[in-house]
Amino acid sequence: MPTTRRKPPPRRPAHQSRLLPRVLAGLIVLAGVCTALVFTFRSGIGPIPDAEECTVEIEGTEVALSTEQAENAALIAGIAMGRGLPARAVSIALATAYQESKLVNIDYGDRDSLGLFQQRPSMGWGTREQVMDPVYATNTFYDALIKVPGYREMRITEAAQAVQRSGFPEAYEDHAADARALASALTGYHPAQFSCVVRHGGTDPVSAELDEQGLTSRAAAVRAEIDAVFGKQAMGGFEPGGVSTGHMEGSAHYDGRAVDVFFRPINAANKRRGWALAHYLVAQADRLHIQTVIFDDRIWTAGRRSEQGWRDYRVDTSGRDRRTAAILEHRDHVHVDVIP
């Protein structure tokens, strides 16, 4: 019988046989480069530092904000604190501003809607200039919210809709989880959970001359803003002509660049108020040229990578009595200082 011979498979051209290993090697190298770039970006080292943004992570909810968004979110929370409103009001306001403007003070909108809450001058919310002022717009929103019966027990979207009268009444609920996480941190219920990456490179220096209170212009601006947003606060760490004693060696207090805001006595309520202010100051660090915030034995510093955020404040309290140790650890006051 004739024997059937199988036809051998076609041979690859020689250049293809040489090319395949090179392609595989190239892919391996590319994967390694991508991994290195991701590590570099996340660790904030090398030529690709962490993005300048603010973050909060609470009970599985992670929120990232641009510097502008963070400033507006913190202002909304700070005004509520100054008015004595509950964290629930802040959650409702933040969810509303998320939906209406993405927490950006925009100068456009549907018909004549403007600002953080897209308030319409034609509907009695105020003049164009007023609704474009975040402080005015936020206070006006809260004025309307507190008139809504039972707003604290309502779903966030229902309370927001009672104020806004939107054509999309359920849209606010899309932002409820993020708003609650932000509100919880910015009202002080979750200490050291709100942090920002801020760099002051290239910022022009200002005069070191002290004002009549013994503060530089930047420190005076911080002091004035704290009172304006949170109401009159007990402050110290400065005096006419400047201070020369009472602080650690090299302290910014001696240059008139620092303010202490006191929350005494040390208790749960005052700790929450202190953390609300500390988080507010971090959110405003870029705009107000803030360098350092210290509270409750934790410290935040501009220029740090995101994962470093709030860190333990290491100060030697050995041999000190309890009251002195508490002061040194900043448990009864928020310290804030600005760049020169």
**Would you place residue 3 in the very low, low, confident or very high pLDDT band (cuts 50, 70, 90)?**
very low
- For residue 150, CA distances in Å to 162, 173, 181 come to 11, 18, 22
- Whether the pLDDT of residue 33 is over 80: the answer is no
252 contacts: CB under 8 Å, gap ≥ 6: 258, 291, 292, 337, 338
- Better-scored residue on pLDDT, 44 or 97: 97
pTM, two decimals, is 0.85
* pLDDT tens digits, one per residue of 120-151: 999 999 999 999 999 999 999 999 999 999 99
Give tens-digit pLDDT for 258-316: 999 999 999 999 999 999 999 999 999 999 999 999 999 999 999 887 777 999 999 99
Taking the alpha carbons at both ends of the chain, their separation in whole angstroms is 101
pLDDT at 17 over 70: no
Nearest in space to 103 (alpha carbons), one of 148, 145, 54, 59:
54
Domain ranges for the chain, please list them. Answer: 53-190, 217-338
List for the chain the helix, strand, coil content (%; round to 5): 45, 10, 45
What is the residue-wise DSSP string for 150-194?
TTTTS-HHHHHHHHH--S-TTGGGGGHHHHHHHHHHHTTSSTT-E
φ/ψ of residue 21, rounded to 5: -60, -35
pLDDT at 170 over 50: yes
119 touches 138 (CB < 8 A): no
Per-residue model confidence (pLDDT) at position 163: 97
